[in-house]
Chains A and B, each alone.
Chain A
Amino acid sequence: MEQAKKLLQEVGIEPERVEMFNLGASDAPLFVAAVNEMTERARTLGPNPLRREKVA
């Protein structure tokens, strides 16, 4: 994951757009928390710059 973040950063894309969460199949509350966190991050960062045309 660190390597993936590094590669994105080199390109000019915010590394926090990608994350890995270790969850068990029964960890529903943790799954919800992870989804909420990534949703919040995506909202804060805005649309993926590589998909800007589609968003526009």
Chain B
Amino acid sequence: MIVGERKPFEELKQGLNGYKKVLILGCGTCVSVCMAGGEKEVELLASQLRMANKLDNRDVEIKEATIQRQCDREYIEPILEMAGECDVVLSMACGAGVQMVADLAEPIPVIPALDTRFIGITDAEGSWSEKCRACGNCIIGEYAGICPITRCPKSILNGPCGGSQNGKCEIDSNNDCAWALIIERLSKMGKLKDLEAIHSPKDYSKIVSPKKITI
């Protein structure tokens, strides 16, 4: 899933300065799972803004809505009328959702409430980690299901580097060395010999942004 993190409250408050009618729009998919931009987070942020506005003697109307996905036109269209009645939309989706809403709600300004951080997994309650760089040319199958592009800070394709210490990464000793994990798993798979193959540099010419798929 796409993992996001809510921006600092003060930054959001500043961004909404001058607007009298605000729609806080949540997204019920990825950012809901990572507890950053779902229905509950919309309610919390709305409550915070109402309290802050009252303390500042500002008369601002805060509306709330959460849709299934902000990256799909069909879910956004039903709330466009509500958005049109507001001065600004504060989107709690990932960057993709924010842009889709901005396209459809034009000319209503759409402000992001989150920082979109990465594509990752849930490690434990309240803890997520990056697993995929969305590079568009997946090579995980050659590395025992562990992505060296994402999980090695140096994105080394022929590792490990000299900084791997006791299974930990020299960049951050709290992180496992991706290459130590790759070697360990290849051993368990009985495929350690695969490491003898020299992997040539990734063909980045195929990775052109913005990426697009049409079927």
Give A contacts to B, CB under 8 Å: 7-8, 10-13, 49-50
Mask of B1-36 contacts with A, CB within 8 angstroms, 1/0: 000000011100000000000000000000000000
Q: Which residues of the other chain, A, contact B82 by a CB distance below 8 angstroms?
A: none
Residue in A8, A12, A13 whose Cβ sees the most chain B Cβ within 10 Å: A12
Given contacts A8-B51, A12-B55, 10 further A-B contacts (CB under 8 A): A7-B44, A7-B48, A10-B8, A10-B9, A10-B10, A11-B9, A11-B48, A12-B51, A13-B51, A50-B51
Give the docked Cα–Cα distance between A9 and B138 (Å): 44
- With an 8 A cutoff between CB atoms, is B52 at the interface? yes
- Please, which residues of chain A bring their CB within 8 A of the CB of B8? 10
Nearest first, the 7 A-B pairs at minimum CB distance are A10-B9, A11-B51, A11-B52, A11-B48, A12-B55, A50-B54, A7-B48
Inter-subunit contact B55/A50 (CB<8 Å): yes
Q: How far is the CA of A11 from the CA of B8 in the complex (A)?
A: 11
Total A-B contacts with CB atoms under 8 angstroms apart: 22
Number of B interface residues at 8 Å Cβ cutoff, please give it. Answer: 10
A residues in contact with B52, CB < 8 Å: 11-12
Q: 22 A-B contacts, Cβ less than 8 Å apart?
A: A7-B44, A7-B47, A7-B48, A8-B51, A10-B8, A10-B9, A10-B10, A10-B48, A11-B9, A11-B48, A11-B51, A11-B52, A11-B55, A12-B51, A12-B52, A12-B55, A13-B51, A13-B55, A49-B55, A50-B51, A50-B54, A50-B55
Chain B residue numbers with a CB within 8 Å of A7 are 44, 47-48
Most buried by A among B47, B51, B52: B51
When chains A and B are docked, how far (Å) is the Cα of A31 from the Cα of B55?
32
Min CB distance, A44 to chain B, in Å? 19
In the bound complex, residues from chain A placing their C-beta under 8 Å from that of B9 are 10-11
Write the nearest CB–CB distance from B183 to chain A, whole angstroms.
40
Residues of A within 8 A of B10 (CB): 10
User: For A10, what are the chain B residues with a Cβ–Cβ distance below 8 Å?
Assistant: 8-10, 48
